[in-house]
Structure 1
């Protein structure tokens, strides 16, 4: 077993299985996808540390435990068409491709889009692709989605993303409401014209720049 394979196995055993993640398909996805391929080369040696990794352009690889718990909250399956928002170099897209039917990643950084598709290709992923665009706008071309995953902290969930959820669809992310310093993992569900939000667990991850609230000016 290579050093990276050992580190990946240890990540699954110590960071994921021990933190309320029991879904077999999700665990197997984290065991399979080589996290080191989705970080800049100088960071490959720390790809499996138990923390968020900043990979440039305001993007992160979310801490494995938090991302795995988000996915267990969403319970993706092979019937799902998924939108992976602010997906960076495609690690989350690769994970989602193992547990979902079809995945579209949306990313604004053109270089990351290219790298993501290259790496997905190297893993023979044939049910996922990353496209260029504004994460706030989603990807209307392939909407609606039964699952939307936002890959970082947000202070707001834009209306266009909610609009792209199918009836019965769900969205998961880490939400910082009203300037809170502590984020919470939330599950948003849409049934007809009704949208509900449920807090699942506390979590702190870096905020995505596009998903910060506009500054308020006081006169």
Structure 2
């Protein structure tokens, strides 16, 4: 029988801590949340690999290092409301739920959103709302948000998402340019979002987050 708890500890010790992620709330959450429960059943054995896990249809579960470093940069406080876009089967939302006051998880795949709700409930995580809807629309009815995190690649961020972030709030996105990508952290002020580059990573661009192609004659 696979010892997933041991794999979870190894994930933190070999993928998260060496990436300069040392904040206790992040380490604690990643040690507590059973990642293997939030992946397709056929991929439980691969849950703790240090790479993006393919969920099909151009979707992935971000590798542990990428998620941990995004959370490190966002520095979520326990009184904050977080919008988690592209939450898939709910792993990222489960981790964030241990740090934030509440999480709104947006997932447009009906099967994944239903399964996420069931798995979160089974794990007794009761401060996550799973919202079934288009990723690019976010969930304005539950906002505005202190923090936004997007679980996949983007080329541009829709205005609808930026509008749901409070002034003074933070956002983390993995901007892709071809095969190369970089996570940027954004801080919203009165005139928009100011971005800074944080680290390199990669993931497929999510539906609704591709840059509009310029019209050419």
Is the Cα–Cα contact under 8 Å of residues 144 and 165 in structure 1 kept in the other structure? yes
2:38 corresponds in structure 1 to 38
Distance 1:191 1:213 in 2: 23
2:87 corresponds in structure 1 to 87
Is the Cα–Cα contact under 8 Å of residues 113 and 132 in structure 2 kept in the other structure? yes
Distance 1:25 1:8 in 2: 15
Which sections of structure 1, spanning at least 5 residues, go unmatched?
A: none
Paired residues, what number? 217
Q: What TM-score do you get using the length of structure 1 for normalisation?
A: 0.95
When residues 181 and 56 of structure 1 are mapped into structure 2, their CA distance, relative to the original with a 3 A threshold, is closer
Which one of 182, 190, 208 corresponds to residue 206 of structure 2? 208
Distance 2:172 2:103 in 1: 15
Which sections of structure 2, spanning at least 5 residues, go unmatched?
A: none
Asked whether 1:194 is paired with 2:212, we answer: no
Q: Deviations over 1:95-117 (max 9, x none)?
A: 11011111000111111111001
Q: What's the CA shift for 1:213? A: 2.1
RMSD: 1.4
Distance 2:134 2:167 in 1: 23
Distance 1:59 1:35 in 2: 17
1:74 corresponds in structure 2 to 74
Q: What's the CA shift for 1:2? A: 5.7
SS in 1 for 2:6: helix
Which one of 183, 186, 190 corresponds to residue 185 of structure 1? 183
Q: What TM-score do you get using the length of structure 2 for normalisation?
A: 0.95
Q: Deviations over 1:74-103 (max 9, x none)?
A: 001111100000111111110110111110
Q: Deviations over 1:32-61 (max 9, x none)?
A: 101111111110011100100011343211
Is the Cα–Cα contact under 8 Å of residues 57 and 109 in structure 1 kept in the other structure? no
Aligned ranges for residues 1-219 of structure 1 at < 5 Å? 3-176=3-176, 179-219=177-217
SS in 2 for 1:162: helix
Q: What's the CA shift for 1:187? A: 0.7
